[in-house]
Structure 1
């Protein structure tokens, strides 16, 4: 298959730090041919770097949609704009073979938009991939397969603790310094923006959620309604556990609590996503370590889209799947606010198809929908 021509909508940090390095690595499969950002100062250096003339640079994405040479529109805009922009693109390229959309996570700002976003592929006949890199990362897929292969026996419960200091990150981290993150107009603030990754990982490992109940410590800072949110979760598989997201402090000791999964024959431990090692401790005293390459989700998601458009795979992370991730965060927030226990997933579990590329240390299984 020839290179896919890509139109970029939003040339901020998500493009420069996350997507562009993956496009560089897959330069034999993708070519960026157009850029759009309402701030010309952002597109100008990229146009020079990519050798794009002025007719390929836009401040309004809508004229770009009528170009016949673009196969993929990669949308990287603030969360509150995700649904509107994606629907505009889907409508414009409706039922046109050989064209697809990438949308960053979370796919929408509230329940209504998230549910509508989930319907876009069917409504407009357009393939849409949600760039939820945790579902494409090597470590989460290895852990998912370890659990499903019962390497630690039957899974019983988990602990997942995520700590980030957003107030400090605002001063030194360029992502947290974004105005739309400090004063969000979407539900949950940083709990939605960052916590949805952790929820996606848990749902990828354990499947659909039966019920959850949350408690939170309210705060007055705009970046999140709660300093911490603590959630009890029961999955439809019977696994239970606790997820905590603390957005206003630090975890000082090492090793971190991280993600710990306990089974009848042992436990799996991932300290944090960039540590490069998954630890397994068995009840009989044996121990095992599995190495992985951190931060491969961005590469794997683009490769999945390329192979899907070539007819070799299905898109692994669809809006329908990401709706479940976003809904889970929204349900957590609602439970913390109302004190209620909430039924999350109404349907049966699913197993997303996933194909790993260039994984020498661990063999992923090719799974299919059922």
Structure 2
């Protein structure tokens, strides 16, 4: 029988209910939620009843919850502007205690805080994973492997179009309905919150970015400074591409533009992340469809974190890696504002100094 890691949740809102909790249920043999914290105590108490937890396992002050000795994992699902603040406090409190932290993306609201956030894991000797589900999604991994194995030959370029109808979604029971997303206290608004996923996925597929140039169409609505962003990306591998982000309307024509990768022997096409099929079209007329399980990222990230804490494998998405994703977002915004080409990544590859988990992490199970 597997040893269960005991989890304390900070923030029991929509991200917990719709994204993390379903994955925890699937991994019930590895994780057990034992504590909940939320400023809305009634909401936390409702979840406690649902999870058969006692009222003394419910907190409104996360610092108080962090004093518990039985917690192996802290899972932070707060508004973006609080990510660094809460993660830093948790890392300080749990330093050297053989525990781990999961923080939602992006790791901080500003690049300055993100630079400090990427130092928290080595500074406090505590494993931290950033829950960037696109880097864990099955379709992104499959496309990365198709590119690396040259299934459509050498890649020339790509086009990706991402459309979010924020004005309509904010009136429904969806993530944009949250006040902190409609009036964000972090640069970039919806582009930072949503576009970081797509840029993380592209970096996962193609690797580090050499430079970029971006243009934006300004808008007056608070939820994002630009209704449209067009970014031209040059990867260090030589691949070029265009990423378009439109957050103020609809894409009505089907099939959607999606992600289209053009190679010397054919192309790879993903209409959208929930379609369940990757399409290959070869220059000789052959076609191939590769099925995948949609929305698998949340499960995969929790599985990876369990394996990391038990000494089986390293954390796949560390704060250093997520810093690069967030820096790309800020570089896009910087390029728009300064009307120039921006250099992005310094190195050709990424290998964190603690790629393998410290030996003492495996002691959690003993």
* TM-score bucket (shorter structure): over 0.9
CA distance in 2, matches of 1:161, 1:267: 16
TM norm structure 2: 0.95
CA distance in 2, matches of 1:160, 1:246: 11
1:41 aligns with 2:38: no
The corresponding residue for 1:114 is: 114
8 Å CA contact retained: 1:73, 1:101: yes
1:4 aligns with 2:32: no
Q: Residues 90-123 of structure 1: CA distance to partner in whole angstroms, max 9, x if unpaired?
A: 01111122x1000000111111011111111111
**Aligned-residue offset at 1:173:** 3.6
Q: Residues 256-285 of structure 1: CA distance to partner in whole angstroms, max 9, x if unpaired?
A: 000000111110000000000000011111
CA distance in 2, matches of 1:173, 1:276: 24
TM norm structure 1: 0.94
Q: How does 1:216-255 map to 2 (within 5 A)?
A: 216-255=216-255
- Structure 2 residue ranges without an equivalent (≥5): 356-366
Q: Residues 4-31 of structure 1: CA distance to partner in whole angstroms, max 9, x if unpaired?
A: 0000000000000000000001101000
The corresponding residue for 1:272 is: 272
Q: Residues 163-200 of structure 1: CA distance to partner in whole angstroms, max 9, x if unpaired?
A: 11100111114311100000000010000001000000
8 Å CA contact retained: 1:236, 1:349: no
The corresponding residue for 2:86 is: 85
The corresponding residue for 1:336 is: 336
**Aligned-residue offset at 1:340:** 1.4
Q: 1:351 to 1:160 in 2, by over 3 A?
A: farther
Q: Secondary structure at the match of 1:194?
A: helix
Q: Residues 273-303 of structure 1: CA distance to partner in whole angstroms, max 9, x if unpaired?
A: 0000000011111111100000110000000
The corresponding residue for 1:365 is: none
Runs of 4+ in 1 over 2 A off after TM superposition: none
1:62 aligns with 2:55: no
Number of aligned residues: 353
- Structure 1 residue ranges without an equivalent (≥5): 355-370
Q: Secondary structure at the match of 1:66?
A: coil
**Aligned-residue offset at 1:238:** 0.3
The corresponding residue for 1:73 is: 74
1:17 aligns with 2:18: yes
Q: 1:351 to 1:134 in 2, by over 3 A?
A: farther
CA distance in 2, matches of 1:46, 1:284: 55
**Aligned-residue offset at 1:67:** 1.1
Q: How does 1:143-162 map to 2 (within 5 A)?
A: 143-162=143-162
Q: How does 1:100-111 map to 2 (within 5 A)?
A: 100-111=100-111
Q: Secondary structure at the match of 2:215?
A: strand
CA distance in 2, matches of 1:301, 1:325: 17
1:313 aligns with 2:313: yes
CA distance in 2, matches of 1:281, 1:45: 50
Q: Residues 319-343 of structure 1: CA distance to partner in whole angstroms, max 9, x if unpaired?
A: 0000000110011011111101100
Q: Residues 68-104 of structure 1: CA distance to partner in whole angstroms, max 9, x if unpaired?
A: 100000000000000000000001111122x100000
Greater displacement, 170-179 / 256-265? 170-179
Q: How does 1:338-353 map to 2 (within 5 A)?
A: 338-350=338-350
8 Å CA contact retained: 2:158, 2:260: yes
CA distance in 2, matches of 1:351, 1:11: 33
The corresponding residue for 1:359 is: none
CA distance in 1, matches of 2:129, 2:221: 33
8 Å CA contact retained: 2:45, 2:55: no
Q: Secondary structure at the match of 1:2?
A: coil
CA distance in 2, matches of 1:341, 1:321: 22
CA distance in 2, matches of 1:184, 1:92: 28
8 Å CA contact retained: 1:207, 1:351: no
CA distance in 2, matches of 1:111, 1:90: 19
**Aligned-residue offset at 1:351:** 7.3
The corresponding residue for 1:366 is: none
8 Å CA contact retained: 2:135, 2:317: yes
The corresponding residue for 2:191 is: 191
